[in-house]
Amino acid sequence: MRGRTRLVAILIPTLLAGGLAAGCARNPVTGKSELSLVSEDQEIEMGRQSAAEVEQSIGFVDNAQLQSYVAGIGQRMSAQSERPNLPWEFHVVNDAAVNAFALPGGFIYVTRGLLGAINDEAELASVLGHEIGHVTARHSVQQISKAQLAQIGLGVGSILSPDLAQLAGLASQGLGVLFLKYGRDAENQADQLGFRYALQQRYDVREMGNVFVTLARTSEASGAGRLPEWLSTHPDPENRVQHVQAMLDTTPLPPNLVQNGEKYLQSIQGMVYGDDPRQGFFEGNVFYHPEMRFQVTFPQGWKTQNLPSAVVAASEAQDAIVQLGLAGDESPGAAAQKFLSQEGVQGGRSSNESINGNQAATSYFKAQTEQGAVEGVVSFISYGGHTYGIMGYTKEGGLQQYDRVFQETIRSFGPLQNQAALSVQPARLEVIRVDSPITLEEFNRQHPSSISIEELAIINELESPSATIPAGRYVKRVVGGPPASQASR
């Protein structure tokens, strides 16, 4: 959970606002006419609204030089695309997940987790090109149009109906519509477009296959981050690398293509690697937030996750949830009144007793959701100039079983006084040039990392720890970070 986030109103999911008129539009890439319920102006407006949410809920990496570097690559590629006049933006978001995503209208994001996993500018260009391709081919607009058709009875299913387990934090409710999954045809088309856009800028597109291999290895080995991993939002056909190779086999490559490995690696020197414990971490079932100086004890044995917009815990039976998040700067009483005034929410017994010396407003409630009726307790607590919301809820009829657990969690909220937790620092990337051939194992003995050597091999795109690193190559290592016992879950 980050300081800029707000408590998500998870009980009442919202749909995209504004009327959408049915019609046909010409696809800028294929030139074919296709059904579209979203005009270009609406597409851009959707993107702008969602982009504001990304900045607030996830946040950007605080490195102007890195942001400018990534944006420059993206802007050069998008300027040569089929839709150069869109308000293109490119940002590095502050998340450890290995991912990249595109919003309607030309808003493109890569995570710092992805930047830490790849190794040169040509690879980055292929990722950015792929996401640009989703926008130029209007893939997200097509998905939104299909969802709208489903809602008005012309199709089946809905992309906006998460079940109770998903509300437990397995996906970020507020950002759900930003990560639309694309089908095989759309992914292949985005690959083809990304390949072309990168090659237009004279990037070595032979690096594109390495990206997919690294992404697959990373997804299998880790799970760090709060956003979905790249392979969770980009369906990965078994022949992805072969598809890239087929494009290489049929495309004459000009000489002097660039990789810019050294320039790329120098740009990520010192970047945070993995989850940033300054933004909150778990030690057992206790959640510490060093930046905001508070702690909360969640129920023992519950599955916990620190998301950008909230900290959540789900019961072992997946039938009860506790969520912690910021509710703004208004008073606890005003925040409680705002929550209870939502459509479908009915307040119950309430109190204004302080919690660990902090002003609080607590109320039981019942609510109607798309998944049925739920009941629970919510408390808004004033601390450190902010108001925090802690909410526990379960299916109707289950409150008696979980009431004590909810109350114990709420009343555990208090100031963080553990000095080790207060001073914890994130791990960071360090880039070192090797002067002579050396195996990764020997390199790791000379320059120890705070991650496993298997993970070190993946982020340096080496097949194994015994692989030899050629002379003159720059190698990533990871230094610092919290003790293993303090890793975020």
pLDDT digits over 440-468, tens only? 999 999 999 999 999 999 999 999 999 99
**Separation between Cα atoms, residue 62 and residue 120, nearest integer Å:** 21
Tokens of 26: 């010409």
Question: What is the pLDDT, as a whole number, of residue 148?
Answer: 45
Mean pLDDT value across the chain: 84
Top pLDDT among 404 and 22 is at 404
Which pLDDT does position 328 carry in this prediction?
Answer: 83
Q: Name the least confident of 236-245, 343-352, 420-429.
A: 236-245
Work out the percent of the chain whose per-residue pLDDT is above 90: 65
* Higher pLDDT, residue 448 or 306: 448
Under the banding of pLDDT at 50, 70 and 90, the label for residue 140 is confident
pLDDT at 160 over 50: no
CB 229 within 8 A of CB 223: yes
What is residue 132's predicted lDDT score, i.e. its pLDDT?
Answer: 97
Residue bearing the bigger pLDDT, 27 or 400: 400
Q: What percent of the chain has pLDDT over 70?
A: 81
Residue given tokens 């940002």 in the structure block: 91
State the Cα–Cα distance between residues 167 and 57, nearest whole angstrom: 16
**Residue 16 or 318, more confident:** 318
- Pick the residue with more confidence: 431 or 43? 431
Other beta carbons less than 10 A from residue 311's beta carbon? 21
pLDDT score, position 156: 26
484 against 454, higher pLDDT: 454
Q: Is the pLDDT of residue 367 over 70?
A: yes
The two structure tokens encoding residue 314? 């789900």
Highest mean pLDDT among 148-157, 168-177, 235-244: 235-244
From 24-38, 48-62, 344-358, 373-387, the region with the lowest mean pLDDT: 24-38
Beta bridge partners of 355: 358
Rounded-to-integer distance, Cα 401 and Cα 316, Å: 13
Q: State yes or no: pLDDT of 153 exceeds 50.
A: no
Q: CB count, 10 Å around CB of 81?
A: 23
pLDDT above 80 (res 276): yes
135 or 228: which carries more pLDDT confidence? 135
pLDDT of residue 225: 53
Residue 9 has pLDDT above 60, yes or no: no
What is the spatial distance between Cα 265 and Cα 477, in angstroms, rounded to a whole number?
11
The better pLDDT of the pair 2, 7 is held by 2
Query: With bands split at pLDDT 50, 70 and 90, how would you rate the model's confidence at 154?
Result: very low
Contact between residue 390 and residue 376 where contact means Cβ atoms under 8 Å apart: no
Note the pLDDT of residue 163: 31
What are the tens digits of pLDDT across the range 16-73?
333 434 456 677 787 776 656 678 898 899 889 889 988 988 899 999 999 999 999 9
What is the spatial distance between Cα 97 and Cα 224, in angstroms, rounded to a whole number? Answer: 6
Question: Which positions ≥6 away from 173 have C-beta within 8 Å?
Answer: 8, 10, 13, 162, 166, 167, 309
- Higher pLDDT: 167 or 381? It is 381
Confidence at 193, pLDDT banded by 50, 70, 90: very high
Instruction: Please tell me which residue, 307 or 92, carries the higher pLDDT value.
Output: 92
Q: Is the pLDDT of residue 13 over 90?
A: no
pLDDT at res. 310: 87
Whole-number pLDDT of residue 184: 79
